[in-house]
Amino acid sequence: MIDHYDWSGGREAMVRFGPDSGPVVIMLLPLFEEHNRTRTFAVTICRALADLGVASILPDLPGQGESVLPTEQATLGRWRAAIASIAEAERNRRRVYLASFRAGAVLDGNEAAAGVWRLSPITGQTALADLQRAEAVGGKRDWDALGPEDAPVQLAGNAIGWPLYAALRADAVLIEPQAPHRTVRLDSDPAIADIKFPGTPLWRRAEPGNHPALARALASDIADWVRSCES
């Protein structure tokens, strides 16, 4: 169901899946072009969660997806405020969980969450470095020379304002959430995880894609983990 949420900066769209009762999972997609590559995959996960009786919400964050806010005006503060608004509104009637993908982990520290599930989490600094590598194909640039007086940074088709650029560059450590949390990775990823699944990292593809079998497996893992936290 198409819905919306209000936050201090305005109104943004979100899509609801699954039942109106029971816990709800707020999906935090990767940032920038990885967002576009994985949105269909995330929708498939949400639909699979609904089939398992678990509700989920897929929001557009300010400056991402179909948001009317220009990307160059997006900041970590605005993203976190938007997530907090959704979480607080939902927490009035049920427990809230966060499921973050990749650099969505930069945003999953909300205190309203009863738990956090992560897929292949990376830091903001790593996400920024990936964009810089993609941009560097067209010629090397001295990224360290950038400062607050510069115009928005153009990285792989994204106009990133200095406040967001600086915040991502400073986000060098993957902080563990205070709430119960679970880390999931693909079996091609050597980093430590609670469980690993076989599958293709869709965020690395040149075009958006989907992997229904992996989506169903991840949805089952999310549902089982949420239920274990509820028991």
The DSSP call for residue 31 is S
Task: Over range 205-222, report the average pLDDT.
Answer: 93
pLDDT of the residue at 182: 97
Tokens of 71: 């990307």
Whether residue 24 has pLDDT greater than 60: yes
- Give the span between the Cα atoms of 216 and 196, in whole angstroms: 14
Q: 160-199 pLDDT, tens per residue?
A: 888 898 999 999 999 988 899 999 999 999 999 999 999 9
pLDDT of the residue at 217: 98
Positive or negative CA dihedral for 95, 7, 122, 187? positive
Residues in a beta bridge with 98 = 26, 116
What backbone torsions phi and psi does residue 26 show, to the nearest 5 degrees? -90, 120
pLDDT of the residue at 144: 65
Locus of tokens 């079996």: 187
Q: Is 213 left (phi over 0), alpha (psi -120 to 50) or beta?
A: alpha
Positive or negative CA dihedral for 55, 216, 192, 186? negative
End-to-end CA distance of the chain: 28
Decide which of 186 and 129 is more confident. Answer: 186
pLDDT of the residue at 138: 52
Looking at 96-105, 118-127, 138-147, 202-211, which range is the least confident one?
138-147
- Give the span between the Cα atoms of 171 and 176, in whole angstroms: 13
pLDDT band, residue 204 (cuts 50/70/90): confident
pLDDT band, residue 115 (cuts 50/70/90): very high
Tokens of 217: 């497996």
Sheet holding 10-17, edge to edge: 2-7, 10-17, 55-59, 24-28, 96-101, 115-119, 181-186, 195-197
pLDDT of the residue at 134: 73
Tokens of 211: 């992997």
pLDDT band, residue 154 (cuts 50/70/90): confident
What does pTM read for this prediction? 0.93
Decide which of 79 and 33 is more confident. Answer: 79
Whether residue 73 has pLDDT greater than 70: yes
Domains of the chain as residue ranges with CATH:
2-123+173-230 (3.40.50.1820)
The DSSP call for residue 141 is -
Task: Over range 98-107, report the average pLDDT.
Answer: 97
